[in-house]
Structure 1
Amino acid sequence: MNVSDRPLIGLTTYLEQSQTGVWDVPAAFLPKAYFEAVTRAGGIAVLLPPQPVSPEIARRVLHGLDGLIITGGKDFNPARYGQEPHPTTDAPRLDRDAWEDELLRQALDADLPFLGICRGAQVLNVALGGTLHQHLPDIVGHTRYQAGGGVFNHVPVELEGDLLTRAMLGGQPAPLVVPVYHHQSIDRLADGLVVSARTSDGVIQAVELPAATFGVAVQWHPEAAPEDIRLFEGLVDAARHYRKALA
């Protein structure tokens, strides 16, 4: 593929205390599986670490990109949707919350193609006025969505509606089985979003923003299934068209 045909895809990153060699410092990082999937799908990955942000800064960052991925990570601050933290909710990452929220808002304004992954689906829902279940075991009575120990469980999801998610994932294999690692999920759905997949117990596993050219978010971890990069291919294809339209 010609390099000029490869769109630039920005991926948000963690900012956590990290050890490497003799160093133990706050550091930005992202598991390789995320940006490897973008590369295999035909994009060029650009990492976007949390940093001080304003609408102007976010617009400047996005101006150089053709697509955006809001990645997984620690729990989103419940104060942003008007709740006190559950005992199991992570201490908030205020810098990352502000960074991703503003990037997503400006991406929506620019109709920049975006994909939300796990936390990214929750960021999208809260940005548009929705809320989250802070601890799913309290709701569904089991822990199959987060096995612990960094081990992904695999669960079947049911696609809904005639939407982008079904267009990308509605073929074989059926049923669609996806890797999950989350103890939170969407509760009250934000205005403008539609549900595109659930599990059999009713937990929302994917949403879309029909008003966007490409606005898809999944609660599962597609980067943890390297044999199936269809969501990344869909984003990269939309980003390629976005870039050509601007040109």
Structure 2
Amino acid sequence: MHKPPAELGFRNKTLQYLEQAIAHWIMAHGAMALMLPTLGFDAEVDRRRVTVRHYVDALDGLVMQGGADVSPTSYGQQPMRPEWSGDIARDRYEMELLEGFLAQGKPVLGICRGCQLINVAYGGSLYQDIATQLAEAKAHVDAELYDQHHHDIVFEPGSRLGELYTGYNGGRVTSIHHQAVDRLGGDLVVEARATEDGMVEAIRATGSCFVAGVQWHPEFHAINPELLSGEPLMNGFLDCARAAAR
């Protein structure tokens, strides 16, 4: 948060946060969740002392959580509206982290914004606003319902998600996003789509390394048995983390 509300008491400060549900989702599977402070090039830190490489060396996998929009400038466009300008500093750092984990063959899982960031990092683009650019699309965000807004998805034939979710061809998921994958990045494949309008809901990188993104929020699904479980996804990610650590 580059401009936190005054009532939080951090005037003229930048806040970096970890949403509790995603940390608990990871921890519930016996893994430690650690937050990575953003290390921008304008940070008051000597890059020779602390680098992205140090974090990649220390960790077994990377989970990129949701949050602010990906900046359109990260995929070669200008914001259609000022409020869709996103967070370019976060984009650059997360892409640097992604590159570091890929270089060491360690798994990466993107949630919502994290899914979109993976697509952009691989050379893809986004719809800046689904409702504005795709009039025929269904609503993928509801300000009133927030994390109670749901829709159905279907796995693509032969997808890794289909392998992880044995016996399922899709399910019902949360939907809290106004942006989405437009042009798919190179070396990426679509793993799932929204049943009603075909919107891309999950992607993965080809190859043996686990690099995947889902547009929904599996960390919110544990308390609602009607939603697609997040267990197979997290277990698949952690299995790859353990294998990479051997």
Q: Specify if TM > 0.5.
A: yes
Give the drift of 1:225. Answer: 0.9
1:66 corresponds to which of 60, 65, 72? 60
Are 1:18 and 1:26, in contact at CA under 8 Å, matched by a contact in 2?
Answer: no
- The 3-state SS of whatever aligns with 1:46 is coil
Q: Partner amino acid for 1:159?
A: F
Give the drift of 1:15. Answer: 6.0
Give the drift of 1:28. Answer: 1.2
Worse-matched range after superposition: 132-141 or 62-71: 132-141
- Are 1:206 and 2:208 counterparts? no
- Per-residue CA deviation, residues 8-56 of structure 1 (Å, 9 max, x unaligned), is xxxxxx6662667654542111210001000012211010122225798
Are 2:21 and 2:220, in contact at CA under 8 Å, matched by a contact in 1?
Answer: yes
Worse-matched range after superposition: 33-42 or 174-183: 174-183
Measure, in 2, the Cα distance between the counterparts of 1:86 and 1:136. 12
Q: Any residues of structure 2 matched to 1:1-247 within 5 Å, and which?
A: 17=4, 22-24=9-11, 25-52=13-40, 57-87=51-81, 89-138=83-132, 139-141=134-136, 144-149=139-144, 151-152=146-147, 153-172=149-168, 175-200=170-195, 201-227=197-223, 228-230=229-231, 231-244=233-246
Give the drift of 1:131. Answer: 0.6
Q: Number of matched residues? A: 230
Are 1:107 and 1:113, in contact at CA under 8 Å, matched by a contact in 2?
Answer: yes
Worse-matched range after superposition: 34-43 or 220-229: 220-229
Any unmatched runs of 5+ in structure 1? Answer: 1-13
- Per-residue CA deviation, residues 146-193 of structure 1 (Å, 9 max, x unaligned), is 101461211100101323211223435x64101110001000101100
Are 2:124 and 2:182, in contact at CA under 8 Å, matched by a contact in 1?
Answer: yes
Measure, in 2, the Cα distance between the counterparts of 1:243 and 1:18. 41
Q: Which has the higher strand share?
A: 1
Larger RCO, structures 1/2 (Cα 8 Å, 6+ apart): 1
Worse-matched range after superposition: 186-195 or 139-148: 139-148
Give the drift of 1:84. Answer: 1.3
- The 3-state SS of whatever aligns with 1:85 is coil
- Per-residue CA deviation, residues 87-126 of structure 1 (Å, 9 max, x unaligned), is 2743332221111011011212221111011111111111
Are 2:72 and 2:85, in contact at CA under 8 Å, matched by a contact in 1?
Answer: no
TM-score by length of 2: 0.85
- Per-residue CA deviation, residues 48-92 of structure 1 (Å, 9 max, x unaligned), is 122225798222211101010111111111011111112274333
- The 3-state SS of whatever aligns with 2:16 is strand
Are 2:140 and 2:178, in contact at CA under 8 Å, matched by a contact in 1?
Answer: yes
Are 2:60 and 2:245, in contact at CA under 8 Å, matched by a contact in 1?
Answer: yes
Measure, in 1, the Cα distance between the counterparts of 2:6 and 2:64. 24
TM-score by length of 1: 0.84
- RMSD (CA atoms): 2.3
Aligned position for 2:226: none
Measure, in 2, the Cα distance between the counterparts of 1:165 and 1:88. 36
Q: Partner amino acid for 1:161?
A: P
Q: Partner amino acid for 2:117?
A: V
Worse-matched range after superposition: 156-165 or 125-134: 156-165
